[in-house]
Structure 1
Amino acid sequence: MAALALPTKRPALPWRTGLGYGALGAPLAFVSLPLYVHLPHHYASVAGAPLAALGLVLLLTRALDALVDPALGRLADRLLQRGPRPAWRAAALGSAVLAIGFAALWHPPGSTPTALLLWLTATLLVSTLAYSGVSILHQAWGTRWGGDPLWRARVAAWREGATLAGVLLASALPAWLGFSATSAVLAVGLVLALAALGRTRSPTLHAAATSTAPTGSAPSPWSDPAFRALLAVFMLNGVASAVPATLLPFFVADRLQAPDLQPLLLLAFFGAAALGLPLWVRAVGRWGLAPTWRLGMLASVAAFAFTPWLGSGDGLWFLGICLASGLALGADLALPGALLTGVIHQAGAGQRHEGRYLGWWACATKLNLALAAGLALPLLAAWGYRAGGTDPAGLQALAWAYGGLPCLLKLSAAGLLWRFEHRHPTWRQTS
């Protein structure tokens, strides 16, 4: 492949364009947060599903969903190549299926363990497949714009900022109003966000990223060493985030003995992330994408390091940890996607084959969550932990799985990113 010219620097992203594009992230968060945080606890503690069997179902359904993502990425490429209207219509259809599947997920018709698990498997597959199709298409829409590192960070920040706004609502609505009302809000939010996306005009696409590859070629992401390196860091860091996301309800209810605090803790965590997101974007202009992301990882470890020593009555201390680790979360939200956009355009795949990359990226995200649920829950069961139990050994195993393991994984991801930065100097560029 011939040397590639980097995307040219462009003016600041207009706020109407950023908001119109990113708004769809808000209703999609109504799916991502409840499915990965509330769902395991709901089916284990409320519906009564066996913990080990629940973990196996979550592992298998999420793994199957992940395997479909590359195909959904190729479909997104074909839709976007036809123009924005076919892509928008596909997003609208996927959103309708998503709203129906999500509403059905929380109302299983049977009470036996087998009926619960069968209903969970079917409705979870419908919800996650629809969610994957819409979210991959949405991300590919903005990735096609390319741009310099700061521009890419701003595009990702609008999308992830809207996602955080949705997460803030989704973290509180199920506890306050129930899942039926949350499902209704999701449906209304999807309609409004799709209307905004349909009215958004794409910025003028740059023509600086060129390749000697034929126009009709379809490059494999796996042939790109920069993509393989970035994906390795993303997965290691993603598992570090997915483990505490899966175990949070169990940790708060059983270790801290403060289940009523969970909505406040989630609001504090994601609210702090929303406040910190603009600061991480500004830091990119000074230090570059990869160094800023690495700093965010280290900040997260520093904030989370004392979690394993918390116990009953330490809810307010944990609230402070949630605020500090939430501030660090902004780096994980905006910067990996901005790095990926740069990798795609440098490979000559921009404006043609973003979906191929994003399909595998989404697949990696799902595998992270599948591993967290499918391995952490059965492992905790083997160590003697039971949901709602009071055994000291089981609760200590829960504390170390929730707070200790993620710190080790984050440190490993930061070290791996530092190593790959030196192989790919453009990851450190500020403009």
Structure 2
Amino acid sequence: MTVWPYALLGLPLTMAALPIYVLAPDYFGRELGLDIAGVGVVLFAGRLFDAALDPWLGGRMERLRERGLHKQGMAVAAAVLALAFCALWQPPLRLGGSGMLAWLAGCLFLTCVAHSTVYLAYLSWGSRISPLPAVQLRASAAREAAGVAGVLLASLLPTWLWRQLGPAPGMAAFGGLFVLGLALGLGALLGGAAPWQAAATNAPLRWRVLWQSAALRPLLLPYFLNALAVAFPSTLALFYIADQLQAAGWAGAMLGIYFLGAVLGLPLWQRLAQRMGVLQAWRVGMLLAVACFVSTVFLGAGDIGPYALICLTAGMALGADLCLPPVLVAQYTPAGLPLTAVYGVFQTLGKLALATSGLALPLLAALGYQPGRVGQSGQWALLLSYALLPCLCKLAAWLTSAPLLANEAGTVKEVSA
């Protein structure tokens, strides 16, 4: 069974996600001159509200699938996503600082809700594209490979377009490319992918039932901690490159190398998961990420070569975070729980992590950090938030995932089938 008609939508979806989580703080804080504390609060509030809606959105998409209307629902959400994403980067300058923050908040909310609606349905579709775990793993790996290709585009294109056209026109051009990719990816999914197979049950998701699940409950904390470890450097990467490495012009290239490493790592993690189990492979990826990333605290101005090597190897570790957790969630979800809504819960955890990372901006401002004007206290605050804190979160995720190993042995043979 070919999985690429399903996988292609991953490219535009991540092409939109990276600017929202990585470029928005720098674009609104540095390029448009808004107060970074205010930008951080808006990002935190928007992500928090969006995260709270995810289980509900997952349940609504599950209902649409039961009625055979999931394709129409995804198409409507994709249209809203296209409009809101393009509007996000074009705030009317006449609104002033507070008005542009309000514009950011409204467009961010619509973009995130529409993106979540499409993405939750997309994840569940892949987990029900076949009853065979091996096919599900191939679909997940192909989806994330396409997604990382979208991330590469989102890493390189905006900064290049900014230099060629200016920030606002450059993001307008990038938005047009995103809309084209979204239309093509959604067309391939709705017209050519294997059907979204029905679940064994139509029972609604109840938080009490989810929490009482001996299989899923132990996955919640390591999933959140790992997401937190990824979220902090994602929010602060451009500030670190510009102010710690004094290499703002290399930002796009460094992000590109990082996500290229993720592409290169995906086949490795797929083979490793088939050999030793999905959970064990994920835990290996966590340790590799810590080993690579901790050394960023020792880098300084001009250390482009060492940082590029760290980006490549840490990106390879990121491949495990991209393709393995969705498969774990599908494997650990008991019969009787709707998978789309379960994915909504885990998406909520990921977005809570992103929301928490947004608080790093007002915290850094309180500790004396301002973009382009870094004193000693601000520099150490940036290093702590960007380098050391993510490593501690990764190690905590590795430790708290250990109880899941008792359930892993029974799934290794299934994934290898």
**Shorter-chain TM-score category?**
over 0.9
The reply to whether residue 383 of structure 1 matches residue 383 of structure 2 is no
Q: How big is the shift at 1:233?
A: 1.1
Looking at structure 2, the residues matched to 427 and 303 of structure 1 have their Cα atoms a distance apart, in angstroms, of 29
Q: 1:199 aligns with which of 168, 176, 191?
A: 191
CA contact (8 A) 2:205 2:342 kept: no
Q: How big is the shift at 1:33?
A: 0.2
User: Partner of 2:20 in structure 1?
Assistant: 35
The reply to whether residue 237 of structure 1 matches residue 221 of structure 2 is no
CA contact (8 A) 1:51 1:378 kept: yes
Q: CA RMSD in A?
A: 1.8
User: Partner of 2:281 in structure 1?
Assistant: 292
Q: Could you give the per-residue CA deviations for residues 9-64 of structure 1, whole angstroms, max 9, x where no partner exists?
A: xxxxx23xx11111111111121000000001111111111121211111111111
Q: 2:405 aligns with which of 421, 425, 428?
A: 421
Q: 2:77 aligns with which of 94, 115, 125?
A: 94
User: Partner of 1:266 in structure 2?
Assistant: 255
CA contact (8 A) 2:279 2:408 kept: no
Q: Could you give the per-residue CA deviations for residues 377-411 of structure 1, whole angstroms, max 9, x where no partner exists?
A: 12212221111113122112211211111111101
Q: How is 1:80-229 mapped onto 2 (pairs within 5 angstroms)?
A: 80-83=65-68, 86-110=69-93, 112-145=96-129, 147-177=131-161, 178-202=170-194, 215-220=201-206, 221-229=210-218
User: Partner of 2:38 in structure 1?
Assistant: 53
- In structure 1, stretches of 5+ residues that fail to align are 1-13
Looking at structure 1, the residues matched to 41 and 71 of structure 2 have their Cα atoms a distance apart, in angstroms, of 35
Looking at structure 2, the residues matched to 248 and 270 of structure 1 have their Cα atoms a distance apart, in angstroms, of 13
Looking at structure 2, the residues matched to 173 and 19 of structure 1 have their Cα atoms a distance apart, in angstroms, of 24
The reply to whether residue 348 of structure 1 matches residue 336 of structure 2 is yes
Q: Which amino acid aligns with 2:185?
A: A
CA contact (8 A) 1:226 1:343 kept: yes
Q: How big is the shift at 1:170?
A: 1.0
User: Partner of 1:336 in structure 2?
Assistant: 325
CA contact (8 A) 1:23 1:193 kept: yes
CA contact (8 A) 1:147 1:206 kept: no
Q: 1:404 aligns with which of 388, 411, 414?
A: 388
**Bigger shift: 311-320 or 418-427?**
418-427
CA contact (8 A) 2:275 2:412 kept: no
Q: How big is the shift at 1:307?
A: 0.5
Cα distance, 1:21–1:121 mapped onto 2, change above 3 Å? same
Q: What is the count of residue pairs matched by the alignment?
A: 403
Q: How big is the shift at 1:204?
A: 9.4
**Bigger shift: 192-201 or 215-224?**
215-224
When normalised by structure 1's length, the TM-score is 0.89
Q: What SS is found at the alignment partner of 2:93?
A: coil
Q: Percent identity?
A: 40
Q: Which amino acid aligns with 2:307?
A: F
CA contact (8 A) 2:128 2:196 kept: no
When normalised by structure 2's length, the TM-score is 0.92
Q: How big is the shift at 1:272?
A: 1.1
Q: How big is the shift at 1:82?
A: 2.3
Q: Which amino acid aligns with 2:182?
A: L
User: Partner of 1:79 in structure 2?
Assistant: 64
User: Partner of 2:244 in structure 1?
Assistant: 255
Q: What SS is found at the alignment partner of 1:226?
A: coil
Q: 2:348 aligns with which of 341, 363, 368?
A: 363
**Bigger shift: 74-83 or 27-36?**
74-83
Looking at structure 1, the residues matched to 180 and 267 of structure 2 have their Cα atoms a distance apart, in angstroms, of 27
Q: What SS is found at the alignment partner of 2:300?
A: coil
Q: How big is the shift at 1:425?
A: 4.3
**Which aligned segments of 4 or more residues in structure 1 are displaced greater than 4 angstroms?**
203-207, 427-430
Q: Which amino acid aligns with 2:401?
A: L
Q: 1:282 aligns with which of 265, 271, 274?
A: 271
Looking at structure 1, the residues matched to 324 and 130 of structure 2 have their Cα atoms a distance apart, in angstroms, of 14
Looking at structure 2, the residues matched to 286 and 114 of structure 1 have their Cα atoms a distance apart, in angstroms, of 54
Looking at structure 2, the residues matched to 30 and 159 of structure 1 have their Cα atoms a distance apart, in angstroms, of 13
